[in-house]
């Protein structure tokens, strides 16, 4: 009897180990890898929780029972990783579209990036059409190398809009505080992030605000590789995304991340 009991116990333990091993393998299979860039406050390895949009991506995958592994790289490298499957990366974000190169498909929207003008609270600007900017001869700060909207950039190219170029957003905002320019093209969330975190803007940040009329509200997407795995994961992601409130996640992030 002792010999039979030992044998039975061994079978039970073996079965338990097999089940545990299978469960562990399933858990590992539920990890999905995605790539992104450093673009505060949307994404960034040094940001609380990896950034506001990263929080959205994690939350949507979590609803689909996936743990998200995020790789932070320069933008071109982030896309390369997803295209080649480096480190098992299957998607990159956040894209205004998923046509940076062939072979990707777009998820449902994961948020938006309102692009518009930072203005001085003491001298706000008023405009209805892009032509109004030119007619008022406003000096608009822009960043070298940044694409804005097609219409705005076209008007700048013709000289109708007077663009004062700078190397970065912070330089433009400093000029705006001193009223050396009338407005600066900037993303709304980037403006709020810089006001909350940039020490060089500490004096005067309260004089900056986002003009109530945006140039464009750019939709953001998670871009999956256009293959069987990508389609399967995108379906799971979109199902999870439908169960969360993106705007609330972003609002809650800003309410706590930079306090």
In 3D, which of 195, 225, 15 has the Cα closest to residue 102?
225
pLDDT bin (cut points 50, 70, 90) of residue 24 is: very low
pTM confidence score: 0.78
Which domains can be identified in the chain, with CATH numbers? 9-111+219-257 (3.40.190.10), 113-217 (3.40.190.10)
pLDDT value, residue 145: 81
Place of tokens 């777009």: 106
3-state secondary structure of 163: strand
pLDDT bin (cut points 50, 70, 90) of residue 158 is: very high
pLDDT value, residue 29: 61
Tell me if 37 sits within 8 A of 53, measured CB to CB. no
First to last CA, the chain: 68
Structure tokens at 125: 């600007």
Query: For residue 12, is pLDDT > 90?
Result: no
Mind listing the pLDDT tens digit for each residue in 34-64?
999 999 999 999 999 999 999 999 999 999 9
Q: Angle, to 10 degrees, between the axis of helix 246-257 and the axis of helix 52-63?
A: 130
């Amino acid at each position: 009897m002792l010999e039979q009991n030992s044998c039975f116990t061994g079978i039970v333990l073996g079965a338990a180990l097999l089940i545990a091993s299978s469960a562990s393998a399933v858990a590992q299979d539920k990890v999905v890898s995605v790539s992104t860039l450093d673009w505060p406050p949307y994404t960034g390895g040094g940001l609380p929780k990896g950034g506001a949009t990263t929080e959205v991506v994690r939350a949507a995958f979590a609803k689909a029972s996936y743990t998200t592994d995020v790789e932070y790289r320069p933008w071109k490298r982030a896309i390369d990783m997803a295209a080649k499957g480096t480190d098992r990366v299957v998607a990159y974000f956040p894209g205004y579209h998923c046509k940076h190169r062939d072979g990707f498909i777009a998820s449902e929207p994961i948020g938006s990036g309102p692009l518009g003008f930072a203005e001085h609270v003491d001298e706000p600007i008023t405009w209805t059409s892009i032509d109004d900017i030119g007619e008022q001869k406003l000096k608009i700060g822009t960043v070298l190398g940044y694409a804005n909207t097609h219409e705005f950039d076209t008007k700048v190219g013709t000289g109708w809009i007077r663009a004062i170029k700078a190397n970065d957003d912070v330089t433009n905002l400093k000029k705006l505080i001193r009223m050396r320019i009338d407005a600066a093209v900037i993303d709304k969330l980037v403006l709020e992030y810089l006001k909350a975190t940039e020490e060089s803007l500490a004096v005067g940040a309260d004089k900056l605000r986002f003009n109530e009329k945006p140039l464009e509200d750019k939709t953001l997407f998670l871009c999956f590789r256009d293959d069987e795995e990508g389609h399967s994961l995108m379906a799971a992601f979109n199902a999870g995304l439908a169960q969360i409130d993106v705007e609330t996640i972003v609002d809650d992030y800003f309410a706590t991340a930079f306090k």
